[in-house]
Amino acid sequence: MLATINSATAQQIGVMLQNNSTLVHRMVPLIMKQYHVGENGYTFLLDEDGTILYHPNRNLVMRGWNDLVPEREGLKKLLDGIALIELNGQKQYIIVTRLPLTGWYVASALPEFEVLDQLRALSRTSLLSNLGAGIILLLLVTFLLNYMLKYIPIIIKQLHRIAEGQLTEFQMVPSHDEFGQISLAIREMAHKIQASIKLIHESAFYDALTGLPNRRFLDEKLTQALQDAKRLNGNFALIFIDLDNFKWINDTRGHKFGDELLRQICSRLIGIHRDGDMMFRFGGDEFVILLQHIGSKQELEHYVERLRTAFSSQVNLFSHSYYINFSAGVVMFPDDGATEEELLKNSDMAMYHAKALGKNRIQYFSSDMISTLLEKEKLTQELRNAVLNQSMTLQYQAIVDAQTSRLYGFEALLRWSHPELGPISPDQFIPLAEEVGLIVPLGEWVLREACRACRLLQDEYQPMSVSVNVSVLQLRSPSLIDAVKHALHESGIDPKHLVLEITEGIVIENFEQSVEALRQLRAIGVRLALDDFGTGYSSLGYLKKLPIDILKLDKVFIWDLDIQSSNSKQIVGPIIDLAHNLGLNIVAEGVETKDQAEMLRAWGCDLNQGYWYSKPVSFEEIKNLLQRF
């Protein structure tokens, strides 16, 4: 650093020089040498005229100031300041102080390069220290950030687990600060998601009414059962259950009743549940049981027996007791199907066979059911052709006054003669026509044809009525009213001469709707007959409510009337009375013998129909018949 000689030192030097002793002359250089200026700097002494009294370079002693300074910078001008001048051929910083007593000058000089070096060193030091401070600051910030953000990875992990669908067993942030709260909130959110998923799963895979797994669940379980059975060379069985007459129950008793019935069925099924079995609600009144561990056919039969027994006792519904009847189809893997679809389809097919055989039974699947189905498909196609080509015919059966044996009218009965199979019974092809949607056009054709025939007979002989059978699907079809009006209009017969026969089951299965349709028909002026009375529900309650005119007592009550042991005698008389009391005319169907006809006459029956009078015959034949009557 640039050091200066303070005034006290200068005074000291001045005093010593005034004394002018040799000691002083020797001392001055020693004193002056003490004042080091930096590494390369030095101090020198000049008298008031600028003559050099002391200089570390002895050669310069006694030389003048002007010899040192080429630019002849005045010594006085430099007093008490720092100047950069060229001194002795070198750029130097110089400080000049005047000694007060002698008027001499003390000058300190330091080469410029040293000053610059020092400045450079100084800035490097400050850079390093700045750098150091920066690093410390950086470390401090990093430490603080690390401390503050150390829980972020846990939170990210929690969120990742949620994204992957793992909603339990979280690692939680072990603190109560904001991070701890976020972590808790995430856990809470995961619990809520889990609850929602459970709810969605339940509504997607379980039936809300019975709580049983639904059809979707069955699909999954069936796939799994199939895979397991294939892998382990095992068996499993499916039982497809469909309630008998559930629709009727639902329509007549109401949906609340129907719902309760389904719940009762569910608890009956659960009552026979074994480990590994699963019960499903397949659809409305359809249930499926999956028996996963069935070792043999015997074991399956044993289970089926348990199922039968489970429904053998009555259920209590709204303080009444009822029997639940169902039809079921049973299949076993691998014998009855190789895929889920095949097994389900075959169990369904077996169930349909159970229905066709008269309901309320359990049917094991057999492969000839498939051939029956194929035959049915072929038959359907042929029936379709017959309807299209109008190759069907009508036969007519006389209906006779039971008291006088005079002709009252006739019933039109549809006939189909199959090109290969010959005549097919309407009991077979009418249900088929209903099933495949042919009954409405077919029924309309029958109506027109029967009315036309009636008109021809009326024109030729006497007023008479024609009875036409109407299917349930026709009754439900909005086109029936128009079809009836059209047939009446086209033939020109009086509406009172047209009797529409509706079977009991049809009406009761859809009571309210049927009653409304019947009222509309009656409003046209046609008369209505309840056909086959006694074979279905035979509910007297319904009989009272139905807008009908005629009751047709089924032939099951008639055919054995003349057999001694028969109890039909006790039934038919009271039914005739009952019909009369309800203001209805009664027709006895299937009268085959004279004795039967006699009995019915004696009991006051209104009309008879049966082979005793005439079999169903062609239009040509009925003309002959009319002449006979």
Residues lying near Mg ion in the complex (CB under 5 A) are found at: 469, 501, 531-532, 589
Instruction: Supply 408's token pair.
Output: 């009252």
In the complex, least distance from residue 443 CB atom to Mg ion, rounded to whole angstroms: 13
Indicate which of Mg ion, ligand C2E, none lies near residue 413 (CB less than 5 to 8 Å, by partner kind).
ligand C2E
Tokens coding 218: 């069955």
Binding flag, residue 38, ligand C2E (CB under 6 A): no
Closer by beta carbon to ligand C2E, 294 or else 466: 466
Cβ-contact 424, 416 below 8 angstroms: yes
Out of Mg ion, ligand C2E, none, which partner does residue 555 contact, by CB within 5 to 8 A per kind? ligand C2E
- 426 scored as a contact of ligand C2E (CB under 6 A): yes
- Is 611 a residue that touches ligand C2E (CB under 6 A)? yes
- Indicate the helix (H) or strand (E) that contains 27: helix 22-34
Alpha helices in 52-164 (DSSP H): 65-68, 112-149, 152-163
Nearest C-alpha neighbor of 533 from the set 517, 557, 561? 557
Shortest Å distance, C-beta 588 to Mg ion: 10
Q: Does 610 help bind ligand C2E (rule: CB under 6 A)?
A: yes
**Binding footprint of ligand C2E, residue count (CB under 6 A):** 24
In whole angstroms, what is the distance from residue 277 CA to residue 382 CA? Answer: 44
Interface residue with ligand C2E among 71, 275, 427, 512 (CB under 6 A) is 427
Q: Taking CB under 6 A as the rule, does residue 590 contact ligand C2E?
A: yes
Q: How far is the CB of 400 from Mg ion (least distance, A)?
A: 15
Q: What is the rounded radius of gyration, in angstroms, for the C-alpha atoms of the chain?
A: 60
Long-range contacts of 590-596 (CB under 8 A, 24+ apart): 590/554, 590/555, 590/556, 590/558, 590/559, 591/558, 592/558, 592/559, 593/562, 595/561, 595/562, 596/558, 596/559, 596/561, 596/562
For Mg ion, the closer of residues 501 and 606 by Cβ is 501
Least distance in Å: CB of 267 to Mg ion? 40
Tokens of 32: 């002056």
Dist CA 529 CA 531 (whole Å): 6
Q: How far is the CB of 265 from ligand C2E (least distance, A)?
A: 32
Q: Does 596 bind ligand C2E (CB under 6 A)?
A: no
Q: How far is the CB of 471 from Mg ion (least distance, A)?
A: 11
Counting contacts by CB under 6 A, is residue 430 touching ligand C2E? yes
Give min distance, CB of 423 to Mg ion, in A.
18
Question: What's the closest the beta carbon of residue 389 comes to ligand C2E, in angstroms?
Answer: 17
Binding of ligand C2E by 531 (CB under 6 A): yes
Residue 592 binds: one of ligand C2E, Mg ion, none (C-beta under 5 to 8 A by kind): ligand C2E
Question: Closest CB to ligand C2E among 340 and 532?
Answer: 532
Contact partners, residue 338, CB within 8 Å, separation at least 6: none
Q: How far is the CB of 403 from ligand C2E (least distance, A)?
A: 19
**Minimum distance between the CB of residue 284 and Mg ion, rounded to whole angstroms?**
30
Residues 451-510 that bind ligand C2E (CB under 6 A): 469-471, 501
Binding mask 161-180 for ligand C2E (x = CB under 6 A): --------------------
Q: To 10 degrees, the CA torsion angle through 594, 599, 600, 601?
A: 90
**What's the rounded Cα separation, in Å, for the pair 358 and 557?**
19
Closer CB to Mg ion, residue 173 or residue 470? 470
Q: Based on CB atoms, which residue is closest to Mg ion, 96 or 517?
A: 517
CB atoms within 10 A of CB 128: 10
Q: Which part of the chain contacts ligand C2E (CB under 6 A), choosing from 173-181, 302-310, 312-320, 422-430?
A: 422-430
Q: Does the footprint of ligand C2E cover residue 413 (CB under 6 A)?
A: yes
Q: What are phi and psi of 286, to 5 degrees?
A: -110, 135
Contact residue for ligand C2E among 207, 294, 616, 622 (CB under 6 A): 616
Write the CA distances from 328 to 61, 157, 357, 479, integer angstroms: 139, 53, 11, 35
C-beta closer to ligand C2E: residue 343 or 591? 591
CB contact burial 322-349 (16+ within 10 A = b; e otherwise): eebebbbbbbbbeebbeebeebbbbbbb
Pick from 414, 530, 579, 587 the residue near ligand C2E by CB under 6 A: 414
Answer yes or no whether residue 446 interacts with ligand C2E by CB under 6 A.
yes
d(CA 27, CA 424): 158
Residue 427's binding partner among Mg ion, ligand C2E, none (Cβ under 5 to 8 angstroms by kind) is ligand C2E
Find the shortest distance in angstroms from Cβ 538 to ligand C2E. Answer: 15
Is-contact 589 553, C-beta < 8 A?
A: yes
CB half-sphere exposure, 214, CA atoms < 13 A: 14
Q: Is the dihedral of CA 97, 99, 103, 106 positive or negative?
A: negative
Q: What are phi and psi of 455, to 5 degrees?
A: -60, -40
Rule CB under 6 A: which of 313-332 touch ligand C2E? none
Shortest distance, CB of residue 553 to Mg ion, whole angstroms?
Answer: 9
Instruction: For tokens 């750029």, name the residue.
Output: 91
Question: 3-state class of 510 per DSSP?
Answer: coil
Residue number, 446 or 576, with CB nearest to ligand C2E:
446
The amino acid that residue 98 corresponds to is R
378-407: contacts with ligand C2E (CB under 6 A): 397
- Residue 555 binding ligand C2E, by CB under 6 A: yes
Nearer Cβ to ligand C2E, position 424 or 578? 424
Using CB under 6 A as the criterion, which residues of the chain lie in contact with ligand C2E when the complex forms? Answer: 397, 413-414, 425-427, 430, 443, 446, 469-471, 501, 531-532, 555, 589-592, 609-611, 616
